[in-house]
Amino acid sequence: MSFSTHLRKLAAPIWEAQLRHPFVIALGNGTLPERKFKYYILQDARFLSDLARVFAAGAVQAPDSESALRFAKLAEDTIVVERSLHESYGTQWKMTAKQMTTVPMAPTNYAYTRHMLSVAQRGSAAEITVVALPCAWIYCVVGQQLLKHCPPKKNHPYRNWLMLYASPEFAEVQRWMRKQVDLWAKTAGVEEKRRMEEAFVISSRYEWMFWEMAWNEEEWPV
């Protein structure tokens, strides 16, 4: 069994819970209120900004030039996606890029990104890849599952979102990350593997919490 497969088995109940989450189900069948989707997109834009920093840290820690270049490209692509969100949804909701990027981070989003940035600051390339892997992998699974069970019609309100995360191009990102995790796990020590397991499971939990945050339109209590 590959190490990435082992990681997914560790987090299997968490992943299964995500596919059953009401936000994901409503997103797939098009019944999700636009208010909740807008909340989600604005929080996701803030999340992507920090995810790009995580990938940039991976480029610094990468043990070889090819991996460093790929991490740098992932950081660049993440920023491009973030900007496209600003342009497309910003126009739709009559919000400037500045307005979108200054929306306060919700508690869950803040905690999740601090978790990732903490690993990025002190971790190896393998740990950095693992902490970001659930984001790429879970979205690929969610996108493909929703597309399979409920193919969106042309008038589906969230068709563009579904087609992006069910695309072969997006699937390739998580395949590369899994490949690197499996490669680097072969030479990782017992303690590093333990940290990789912990980071993966925690990120998987935060992924479920991100859906929950958006479904409840979470705010700071005080």
Tokens of 176: 């590369």
Q: Which of 66, 135, 212, 219 is catalytic?
A: 135
**CB-side neighbour CA atoms (13 Å) of 57:** 22
Return d(Cα 222, Cα 220) in angstroms, integer.
6
Q: Are 86 and 101 in contact (CB under 8 A)?
A: yes
Based on the residue annotation, tell me whether 135 is a catalytic residue of this protein: yes
Looking at residue 122, its amino acid is R
Based on the residue annotation, tell me whether 207 is a catalytic residue of this protein: yes
Q: Would you tell me how many other CB atoms lie within 10 Å of the CB of residue 149?
A: 11
Of the candidates 165, 153, 149, 172, which has an alpha carbon nearest to the alpha carbon of residue 207? 165
Q: Which of 127, 207, 217, 219 is catalytic?
A: 207
Query: 49: Cβ–Cβ under 8 A, 6 or more apart, which residues?
Result: 79, 82, 101
Tokens 């307005």 belong to which residue?
99
Tokens of 157: 């309100």
Tokens 């997006």 belong to which residue?
170
**CB-side neighbour CA atoms (13 Å) of 23:** 22
The DSSP string of 41-85 is HHHHHHHHHHHHHHHHHHHHH-SSHHHHHHHHHHHHHHHHHHHHH
Could you list the active site residues? 135, 207
